[in-house]
Amino acid sequence: MSDEPIYVTQPWLPPLEEFMPYLQQIWHSRILTNRGPFYRQFEQALCDFLQVEHVALCANGTIALSTALHAAGLEGEVITSPYSFPATAHVLANSNLTPVFADIDPMTFCLDAATIEPAITPRTAAIMPVHVYGNTCDTRSIKAVADKGNLRVIYDAAHAFGVQDDAGSVLKHGDFSALSFHATKVFNTFEGGAIVCADRQTKELVDKLNNFGIADETTVVAAGLNGKMDEFKASLGLLQLKHFEQLVSRRKMIDASYREQLGDIPGITLMQRDGRQVSNFSYFPILVEPGYPLDRDSLYEKLKSRGIFSRRYFYPLISNLPMYRNLPSADPANLPVANAISNKVLCLPIYSALSDEQVEKVVGVLKCH
C-alpha cells in the first residue's frame, strides 16, 4: 500500500494540455483582468450550469460575502451560525455589523430555523445562514422568519456549489448567496468566488461595488473595492465546469463506500444526508462519540501518525474565538448543539482522486483500536 499522504481534501486540476489553449488566448489578447472575455463567458456559464439568472464573479469567497453585505446596506445585528469558517463572522465585524449567534440543527449542522426568531431584537437587520458540507439549510422556515421580521437573508453558500433542493438550485434562496471557489472547495479556481443575486439591478450594483464603485469612465457612485476575478481564474473555472459532474460522481462513490464500511462502528456517527436533495459531497464528517475507544483528538492524531490528515472542521466554534466569545449570544449555554458537534466532528478525506485503496486505509485505521 502506498505511503503517500492522504489529505482531507485535494484540489482537482485539469490536464495541462487542456488548459494551455486558454492561457494562449489570454497571452495573445493581453486582457488579464477588468472583466475580459473569459470573465463574461464564465459568468454566463455559471448562470446556465447553476440554473440561476444573475451571477457576479469575485476574487474570493470572503469578498463575495463582504460585497453582498455592502450591497444590502445593513446596519445593526446579523443572526448567523457559529458553526462555520471564521470568515462568516469576520465579514460582519469588518462591516461594522454585530454577529448574533444562534444554534444549529443536530442533523444537518446548519443554522436551526427554530433558534432564529428568539434571537431577533430591534437591531436585527438580516440573517446569514450557512449551508454546511453540501447539506442545505431549512430555506422555507428561514424565509418565513425573515418575511415576518422584514429581514434580509444572505446565504453563506461556500459549501453549496451545484447543490439542489426540491425547488431547484439552493442558490436561488435569499437576497444573496455567496460562493467560494477556494482550492479546498469541490469546485475551485485556485482562489475565487461569486455572488448569486436576486435581480439584474442588484447584480449591477454588486459589479460596481467590486470595481471601486465605478459606474463609467468619469463616474464613481459608491465606496467600492477591487473585488473582481481575473481572466486566469475565470478561464480555469470554465474548464473546471466541464469536469464537475464527473468529479462529484466519484465523490458520491467515496461517500457511499465510507457509509457502507463505517456505519456499524460503535461510537462513530455519520452525518445523514437528505435524500430529497442533490449534494456535492464536498466533505465527509463523522462524529466521534463517547462509545468509541478513542476521543476525537486522539483519533485525529492516530490518523495523522499513519499519514492521513483529517480535519476538525469546524473546531473551534467561531463563538469561542477570542474576538467573539464575550458576545452575549456566544455563551455556550446558548449554543449547546453547536458546541457538542464541534467537539466531536472529524472530516475524513474525500476528493475525486482518492483511490479505493486509500479509502480502505482510512477505514482500517478507524476499525483498528
Instruction: Give the CATH number of the domain where residue 278 resides.
Output: 3.90.1150.10
Task: Report how far residue 16's alpha carbon sits from residue 55's, in angstroms, rounded to the nearest whole number.
Answer: 27
Examine the domain organization and report whether 195 and 257 are in the same domain: no
Examine the domain organization and report whether 317 and 358 are in the same domain: yes
Contact present, 288 and 321 (Cβ < 8 Å): no
Tell me the percentage of the chain whose pLDDT exceeds 70.
Answer: 99
Question: Is the pLDDT reported for residue 203 higher than 50?
Answer: yes
- Of 197, 212, 239, the one marking the end of a domain is 239
Pairing mode, strands 76-80 and 97-101: parallel
Please give the pLDDT value at position 264.
94
- Of 239, 256, 289, the one marking the end of a domain is 239
Residues 113-134: tens digit of each pLDDT: 999 999 999 999 999 999 999 9
Please give the pLDDT value at position 274.
79
Span 283-306, mean pLDDT? 97
Structure-block grid coordinates of residue 325? 466569545
Confirm whether 10 is domain-assigned.
Answer: no
Confirm whether 284 is domain-assigned.
Answer: yes
Domain that holds residue 265: 243-367
Examine the domain organization and report whether 181 and 325 are in the same domain: no
Tell me the percentage of the chain whose pLDDT exceeds 90.
Answer: 96
Residues 246-293: tens digit of each pLDDT: 999 999 999 999 999 999 999 999 998 877 789 999 999 999 999 999
Please give the pLDDT value at position 167.
86
Task: Report how far residue 20's alpha carbon sits from residue 25's, in angstroms, rounded to the nearest whole number.
Answer: 9
Residues 58-92: tens digit of each pLDDT: 999 999 999 999 999 999 999 999 999 999 999 99
The pTM for the full model equals 0.97
CATH of the domain at 152: 3.40.640.10
Please give the pLDDT value at position 232.
97
Question: Is the pLDDT reported for residue 1 higher than 60?
Answer: no
Residues 138-193: tens digit of each pLDDT: 999 999 999 999 999 999 999 999 999 988 999 999 999 999 999 999 999 999 99
Contact present, 22 and 234 (Cβ < 8 Å): no
Please report which confidence band the pLDDT of residue 330 belongs to, taking 50, 70 and 90 as the band edges. very high
How many Cβ atoms are within 10 Å of 47's Cβ, its own excluded? 14
Sequence-distant (6+) residues with CB within 8 A of 329 are 99, 100, 101, 102, 119, 319, 335
Please give the pLDDT value at position 77.
98
Task: Report how far residue 93's alpha carbon sits from residue 95's, in angstroms, rounded to the nearest whole number.
Answer: 5
Examine the domain organization and report whether 195 and 291 are in the same domain: no
Q: What is the chain's mean pLDDT, rounded?
A: 96
Sequence-distant (6+) residues with CB within 8 A of 58 are 64, 67, 192, 193, 194, 195, 210, 227, 228, 229
Confirm whether 137 is domain-assigned.
Answer: yes
Confirm whether 268 is domain-assigned.
Answer: yes
Dmax over CA atoms of the chain, in Å, equals: 68
Contact present, 209 and 246 (Cβ < 8 Å): no
DSSP letter for each residue of 213-260: TEEETTEE-S---B-PPPHHHHHHHHHHHHHHHHHHHHHHHHHHHHHH
Confirm whether 85 is domain-assigned.
Answer: yes
- DSSP-derived letter for residue 73 is T
Please report which confidence band the pLDDT of residue 209 belongs to, taking 50, 70 and 90 as the band edges. very high
Confirm whether 7 is domain-assigned.
Answer: no
Confirm whether 2 is domain-assigned.
Answer: no
Sequence-distant (6+) residues with CB within 8 A of 197 are 54, 55, 56, 176, 203, 206
Per residue, the 3-state secondary structure of 91-114, as one string, reads HHHCCCEEEEECCECCCCCCECHH
Please list the residues that pair with 156 across neighbouring strands.
130, 178
Specify burial of residue 260 (Cβ count, 10 A radius: 0-12, 13-18, 19+).
Answer: exposed
Question: Is the pLDDT reported for residue 213 higher than 70?
Answer: yes
Structure-block grid coordinates of residue 112? 436551526
Examine the domain organization and report whether 72 and 206 are in the same domain: yes
- Of 239, 266, 298, the one marking the end of a domain is 239
Examine the domain organization and report whether 117 and 201 are in the same domain: yes
58: helix, strand or coil: strand
Examine the domain organization and report whether 347 and 362 are in the same domain: yes
Confirm whether 328 is domain-assigned.
Answer: yes
How many Cβ atoms are within 10 Å of 33's Cβ, its own excluded? 15
Please give the pLDDT value at position 178.
98
How many Cβ atoms are within 10 Å of 302's Cβ, its own excluded? 16
Examine the domain organization and report whether 223 and 265 are in the same domain: no
Contact present, 138 and 167 (Cβ < 8 Å): no
User: How many domains does the chain contain in total?
Assistant: 2
- Residue 321: phi and psi, rounded to 5, are -75, 150
Task: Report how far residue 97's alpha carbon sits from residue 155's, in angstroms, rounded to the nearest whole number.
Answer: 16
Question: Is the pLDDT reported for residue 211 higher than 70?
Answer: yes
Examine the domain organization and report whether 129 and 277 are in the same domain: no
Residues 332-358: tens digit of each pLDDT: 999 999 999 999 999 999 999 999 999
Examine the domain organization and report whether 91 and 224 are in the same domain: yes
Examine the domain organization and report whether 319 and 341 are in the same domain: yes
Please report which confidence band the pLDDT of residue 369 belongs to, taking 50, 70 and 90 as the band edges. low
164: helix, strand or coil: strand
Examine the domain organization and report whether 136 and 252 are in the same domain: no
